[in-house]
A and B are shown apart, each in its own frame.
Chain A
Amino acid sequence: MNVRITLRVDGEERSTTVDSRTTLLDALREHLSVTSPKKGCDHGQCGACTVLIDGRRMLSCLKLLVGCDGSDVVTANGLGAASGKSEAVRDPAGELGGLHAVQRAFLDHDGFQCGYCTPGQICSAVGMFEEAAAGQPSHVTTDLADERIVLDDAELRERMSGNLCRCGAYVNILAALRAAQPRSPAGRAPSELPEDGA
């Protein structure tokens, strides 16, 4: 069955006609030439294909494109002011050399080796920070009822466990995440954390 689908990708309206079997990941990469989401496992196990769908991080390899008609999809490519695109997640201050704060932190802290998992890590981190800011608990949150989430290392590790890195760059990914976490004015900022080590 062929279907015509229209969605926003990195702030731009895009339309394509695909077979109903096409996943969002394949549509982005093969039909729309948006290659920042990567295909690692194609079975929901690695996180390399992570994108933001309507602001939430999800795996594009397990999402059928036919279910995405009208959705707003943001990939690592569309983050940051340089793209001039996505309203939802762009760096509002625009002071980061055109990069999103999370992208900048990955560069500053050398949060990758080969880079294959990186676009997925970055989209996942952006979604993860939003979830924490909204007060969502994680498996390692001690007090489930407390909506002020402090993102210490245990929290960051747990919340990012859906993104595997074949190169094992986790130590520096964690350093990047520590540096990238939004400092909220409401006293929710995490306690001062060391910048080095894991």
Chain B
Amino acid sequence: MIPFDYQRAAAPADAVAAVAGRPGAAFLGGGTNLVDHMKLGVAGPDLVVDVSELPLNHVLETDTGALRIGATVRNSDLAAHPLVRRRYPALCRALLSGASGQLRNAATTAGNLLQRTRCPYFQDTSTPCNKREPGTGCSAIGGHTREQAILGASAHCIAVHPSDMAVAMLALDASVGVLGPYGERTLPLDALHRLPGDAPEQDTVLRHGELITDVELPARRFAARSTYRKVRDRASYAFALVSVAAALDLDDGVVRDARVALGGVAHAPWRATRAEEVLRGAVASEGTFRQAADAELTAARPYGGNAYKVPMVRNTLVAVLRGLTAERPDRPYPGWHGPGLEEESG
């Protein structure tokens, strides 16, 4: 690990000033991603500004009925919050499906959004990687592709974003509050993460020194009928191969509004707008759900080892949407409690 100075910030503006003033500085949240990367040599900040104790540890209901989630709220606390459990089941399920009890106790809202890809080449400093070292090439293309992207990738990088939480937040129309050296701004979560293009070293649109201060979930009718399903190699404590967050607003069997977001498929949490278009105004039926999945997947471009993800996304999406039309939409599949796979997930 490269030597670094350490500072604990007392106020958001102090944290921003400290990081903005030094090109090699980095914010530290729960440290579960950054400290790992510092050990691996993937990150080497010369100043670490600890923002985990900033007074941003709140989950509040706003005047408009939105939920404002502070940047330093621990993933476990957010999942256990009564309003999240009752109003945003997709977010609750997504948080609880991520990492482990110990990690969720440390991981913060902002850190989770900004965690970096688990691409094995990115984490191994002995291999070329455009994301870690721009211009060196992408070892995954032509290499091990089983976990890589099927949507929105480029010739420079085919990595996926690993967060579960972000996928659910995307399906819940989240926006992100940012404080930078030149003031505050708010951006839709949709606009935070980038596709790789020719600059895969940039995961997000954030500029150096910009601090995430909170995430806001608006009050939406579809939020209550939402869920998150993650498909992975083990029943627990594994990253998603693919995941689906979906929310439906149903009116007498017709889809009034819908949100669908996918995880494990792209460089960013993926908003499935084509699927949503098919769903909106259609009868909530198996046929509609299949059409919606197919519409989204026409753009899919697998890279050999990850071709299984295309049918896996299709089947998972259809199963999730079917589950959401059920009487108890948050219990969407047989074998829910305990191991055992449903027919579609193979």
- List residues of A whose CB falls within 8 A of some B CB: 1, 3, 19-21, 23, 42-44, 47, 50, 56-59, 62-64, 66-67, 124, 127-128, 131, 134-142, 144-145, 153-154, 157-163
In angstroms, how far is the closest chain A Cβ from the Cβ of B84? 9
Of the candidates A64, A67, A159, the one whose C-beta lies within 8 Å of that of B101 is A159
- List residues of B whose CB falls within 8 A of some A CB: 1, 3-6, 8, 28, 30-32, 35-36, 38-40, 48, 50, 52, 76, 79-80, 82, 85-86, 89, 92-93, 96-97, 99-103, 105-106, 234-237, 330-331, 336-339
Determine if B97 and A139 form an interchain contact, defined as CB atoms under 8 angstroms apart: yes
Question: A50: nearest residue on chain B (CB-CB)?
Answer: B102
Contact (A161, B105) CB under 8 Å given A59-B32, A64-B31: no
Contact (A162, B31) CB under 8 Å given A21-B3, A21-B4, A58-B105: no
Contacts of A144 in B (CB 8 A): 85-86, 89, 92-93, 330
| Candidate in A42, A59, A124, A157 with the most chain B CB atoms within 10 angstroms | A59
Determine if B1 and A124 form an interchain contact, defined as CB atoms under 8 angstroms apart: no
* Complex A-B: 13 CB contacts under 8 Å: A20-B4, A20-B48, A43-B40, A67-B8, A67-B52, A124-B102, A131-B101, A137-B80, A137-B96, A138-B96, A139-B93, A145-B82, A158-B235
Question: B81: nearest residue on chain A (CB-CB)?
Answer: A136
Contact (A135, B80) CB under 8 Å given A20-B6, A62-B106, A127-B101: yes
Contacts of B79 in A (CB 8 A): 136-137
- In the bound complex, how far is the Cα of B39 from the Cα of A144, in angstroms? 37
Contact (A162, B237) CB under 8 Å given A44-B103, A67-B8, A137-B96: yes
Of the candidates A20, A42, A154, the one whose C-beta lies within 8 Å of that of B39 is A42
Determine if A66 and B6 form an interchain contact, defined as CB atoms under 8 angstroms apart: yes
- In the bound complex, how far is the Cα of B237 from the Cα of A1, in angstroms? 35
- In the bound complex, how far is the Cα of B8 from the Cα of A57, in angstroms? 22
Determine if A57 and B36 form an interchain contact, defined as CB atoms under 8 angstroms apart: no
In angstroms, how far is the closest chain A Cβ from the Cβ of B233? 13
Of the candidates B39, B86, B93, B102, the one whose C-beta lies within 8 Å of that of A59 is B102
Contact (A21, B1) CB under 8 Å given A43-B36, A144-B89: yes
Question: A56: nearest residue on chain B (CB-CB)?
Answer: B105
Contacts of B101 in A (CB 8 A): 57, 124, 127-128, 131, 159-162
Contact (A63, B337) CB under 8 Å given A20-B4, A158-B236: no
- In the bound complex, how far is the Cα of B92 from the Cα of A44, in angstroms? 22
Contact (A142, B8) CB under 8 Å given A59-B102, A67-B52: no
- In the bound complex, how far is the Cα of B100 from the Cα of A127, in angstroms? 12
Determine if A145 and B86 form an interchain contact, defined as CB atoms under 8 angstroms apart: yes
Contact (A58, B337) CB under 8 Å given A131-B76, A139-B93, A139-B96: no
| Candidate in B48, B86, B234 with the most chain A CB atoms within 10 angstroms | B48
In angstroms, how far is the closest chain B Cβ from the Cβ of A73? 13
Determine if A64 and B35 form an interchain contact, defined as CB atoms under 8 angstroms apart: yes
Determine if A20 and B103 form an interchain contact, defined as CB atoms under 8 angstroms apart: no
Determine if B102 and A162 form an interchain contact, defined as CB atoms under 8 angstroms apart: yes
In angstroms, how far is the closest chain A Cβ from the Cβ of B73? 14
Contacts of B338 in A (CB 8 A): 140, 153-154
- In the bound complex, how far is the Cα of B11 from the Cα of A75, in angstroms? 32
Contacts of B36 in A (CB 8 A): 43-44, 62
Starting from the known contacts A21-B3, A67-B52, A134-B80, 6 additional A-B residue pairs (CB-CB under 8 Å) come to A1-B5, A63-B106, A66-B50, A124-B101, A131-B76, A158-B236
Contacts of B86 in A (CB 8 A): 144-145
Contact (A162, B100) CB under 8 Å given A139-B236, A154-B337: yes
